[in-house]
Structure 1
């Protein structure tokens, strides 16, 4: 259960997301409207972000660190102490609280006086943890938007492939009818009928496989959006540009959410090192006690001051500080190495994405039109008796194969686009990027 302090914060931070989720879920879950409203990529991403429990967990982690930052800045709780000093255990005064002048009933309070600099450093350490949680939240949002975009695009292209396969199946059925008619008229052979039926079986098998991909893609999209409806998809987004400044890629990627998380981890390590250095200065402890003796004797007050004796500082406090400083350097090295890897991987993806755009353009401009023209030429030759039905079937299969290859290439290119375009959250990238397709910038 949330504390009375954490609950209002969690409610405030989730209010907007709940409002968005409620509106979108109501709109798309209603059968009367869902069938007519296409689901855009942006709407799918909004639903996925609103549906994520991981984001709520990270917000609560930030809340926990905020609360601990306040607690860490306070003095330790005072210690109430009570006891009996110098109680006789033998002789005629055994067990008496009033007979011996040294016997005292004592009550006191002890307070550790932690320096304000240490308390500030402890609070700052949790403040750094808050920043890390928020960086992790940003990284999670980017990952959700990226994975949702990939799932949306996978379903979009799978459905387009299924439409082409269905068109090919209808055409194959017509070819069987044509082959049977030609055979009955004495113009064709029985082998042509078998060839047409074999082609239909191959088309049906391909269509079944594509339908499996469609179902899988719908399951994955529903996993992100939280919807279990057969929503149609809106038109594909433009994949010809990405929100990255290719002229300053290294600089842009220093703001990548995963790099930001490692930067925040470095800041936490630095705060731990500063705290370890501050711990070389011991904390004082003050104790004040009131001591009551028998009625014949005076009561007393005692004041004690304690100070830890760091007699082996070089093997304790100095070693601890060296350990924390080494962890700072470790965090920096891991961050820099991860940044190098991100830059290299991103450059490779950009090259592959740009190559995919170029090849897709070639398919649309040259290969698909040529395959269609070849099919029309073979069809004309078949009708004129200058080509056989198997030749026509092979030509049509080639045209469909080319169209499916073009779609698969577009799907692969779109996946790369999604990975590049959503390296950063879609609503927080403006300061570090702009749309670019400049290949020479690399």
Structure 2
């Protein structure tokens, strides 16, 4: 009974989600839940953890089997028991890796784990950003389509009015053709907008699957995350790519520590049991092996120098990446402010003026004191202004998505889009 109730609740929840509009937040959450990139990043982190658990262990012991001093000529040839020097041996050898070397390897493996975690954060941030961009692209393309649809309805009324005036002898056939041509141009623009909407739905489906075909929720008012008002170098240190570069530098440093520890030799100890013929006693041998690092300046020292150079390279790359992202963010903030100013100008003057021009031209035409071409030109100009405003708003929304999902720990309280009233 309980299972049936739970199943019904789950199905009801899925049905409710399927019927509700697809909001930006829900699209981002669904994309993270179904992405195989996140699954791959999780597997990479798991692999790094498994590797780290083995990094501090001693090497596997070596089993050694041997047959020593076997005669190959004379009366005892190929006999393993008649000659007193012939021995059948079994032994085991263990390399005793120094503790400091094993600890250095463990620290390097731990840096790999941290890098895998940072890589996962970068994957999620990229996924969220791309999903948000796809959602916003579809939303604004649909707004453009709706704008053209409303203008087509008005263009049809103008065609009817021009035909009526022509039949009554108060208008010209040229005006009828001009009105029809304007309506057809709008239909052509609508066809292009429909194609753009279909493409946007396909792109959104790349991230959210079948939910991409659902109606979209209204766009929210977009505000920049709070960290953009603070010290950029400090905040950008959390950027996944910069954090990954910092981890690469840490890995290079740990590799240098491993190379430094390698300047001390590892000893190997071997225990061997040798059996001879029944007339002779058996023997036990203990062997100790020590590598002779007789040319450290041309081998171990060169290896350490190469690793230290790798540390300098990784740190330099990290610093250059930091500078590049700082410049990129500052450029995006400048573009954001420019778009804000332009949108304010469009709302305060350009859009009202375009609307007033269209209304004045239409009033003159209805009063018989103005030509239809003036109405069509004014309408076309108003559409261009409204379309350009949508384009600016889309560009601003793209910048918002890139900044909002730039850091894995942005301030959700101030950066989160607020629902439009």
Q: Do both proteins adopt the same fold according to a TM-score greater than 0.5, normalized to the shorter chain?
A: yes
Q: Distance in 1 between matches of 2:44 and 2:249?
A: 18
Greater Cα offset, 308-317 or 338-347: 308-317
**Which residue, 116, 138, 153 being the options, matches 1:170?**
153
How far did 1:435 drift? 4.9
Aligned to 1:199: 182
2:194 is matched with 211
Deviation at 1:33, TM superposition (A): 5.9
C-alpha separation between the residues in 2 aligned to 1:229 and 1:416?
Answer: 22
Matched, 1:71 2:69: no
Deviation at 1:112, TM superposition (A): 0.5
- Which residue of 282, 293, 304 corresponds with 2:276? 293
SS in 1 for 2:268: strand
Could you say which residue in structure 2 is the equivalent of 1:411? 394
In structure 2, C-alpha distance between the alignment counterparts of 1:222 and 1:68, rounded to whole Å: 36
1:244–1:434 Cα contact (<8 Å) kept: no
Q: 1:116 is matched with which residue?
A: 99
Q: Name the structure 1 match of 2:419.
A: none
What SS does the corresponding residue of 2:201 show, helix, strand or coil?
A: helix
Report if the CA contact (8 A) 1:243-1:421 is conserved. Answer: no
How far apart in 2 are the matches of 1:273 and 1:252?
Answer: 29
Aligned counterparts of 1:207 and 1:68: Cα–Cα separation in 2: 57
Match of 1:327 in 2: 310
Q: 2:214 aligns with which of 231, 240, 255?
A: 231
State the Cα deviation string for residues 330-369 of structure 1 (Å, max 9, x = none): 0100010000000001000000011101111211121111
Aligned residues of 1:241 and 1:435 also touching (Cα < 8 A):
yes
2:273 is paired with a residue whose SS is: strand
CA displacement, residues 101-138 of structure 1 (integer Å, 9 cap, x when unaligned):
11111111111111122112112211111110110110
Which sections of structure 1, spanning at least 5 residues, go unmatched? 1-21, 437-442
CA distance in 2, matches of 1:28, 1:156: 25
Determine whether 1:273 maps to 2:256: yes
- Tell me the equivalent position of 1:341: 324
**Partners in 1 of 2:12 and 2:142 — Cα distance?**
23
Measure how far apart 1:296 and its partner are: 2.1
1:10 aligns to what?
A: none
Structure 2 residue aligned with 1:302: 285
Q: 1:33 to 1:47 in 2, by over 3 A?
A: closer
Structure 2 length as normaliser, TM-score? 0.93
Q: Deviations over 1:145-184 (max 9, x none)?
A: 1111111111111101100101111111111111110000
Match of 2:380 in 1: 397
In 1: Cα distance, 2:26 partner to 2:147 partner: 27
Other-structure match for 1:16 = none
For 2:62 and 2:12, the matched residues in 1 are separated by 59
Q: 1:261 aligns with which of 235, 244, 247?
A: 244
Q: Deviations over 1:292-321 (max 9, x none)?
A: 122222211111100111121111111111
- Residue pair 1:58, 1:136 contacting (<8 A) in 2 also: yes
Deviation at 1:376, TM superposition (A): 1.2
Alignment partner, residue 8 of structure 1: none
SS at match of 1:227: helix
| Structure 1 position 155 matched with structure 2 position 138 | yes
Superposition map of 1:36-51 within 5 A: 36-51=19-34
1:429 to 401, 404, 410: 410
RMSD: 2.0
Aligned residues between the structures: 409
Secondary structure, in 3 states, of the residue corresponding to 2:274?
Answer: strand
Any idea what SS the aligned residue of 2:210 has? coil
Give 1:142 shift.
0.8
Give the secondary-structure state (helix, strand or coil) at the position aligned to 1:309. Answer: coil
Provide closer, same or farther for how the CA distance between residues 127 and 178 of structure 1 changes in structure 2, counting only shifts above 3 A. same
Q: Give the 3 Å change call, closer, same or farther, for CA 430–193 of structure 1 in structure 2.
A: closer
Q: Which runs of structure 1 show a deviation greater than 6 angstroms over 4 or more consecutive aligned residues?
A: 25-29
Verify the 8 A CA contact 2:236 2:407 in the aligned structure 1: no
SS at match of 1:287: strand
Which secondary structure does the structure 2 equivalent of 1:301 belong to?
strand
Gap change, CA 1:40 and 1:378, over 3 Å in 2: same
**Residue ranges of structure 2 left out of the alignment (5+ in a row):** 1-6, 417-421
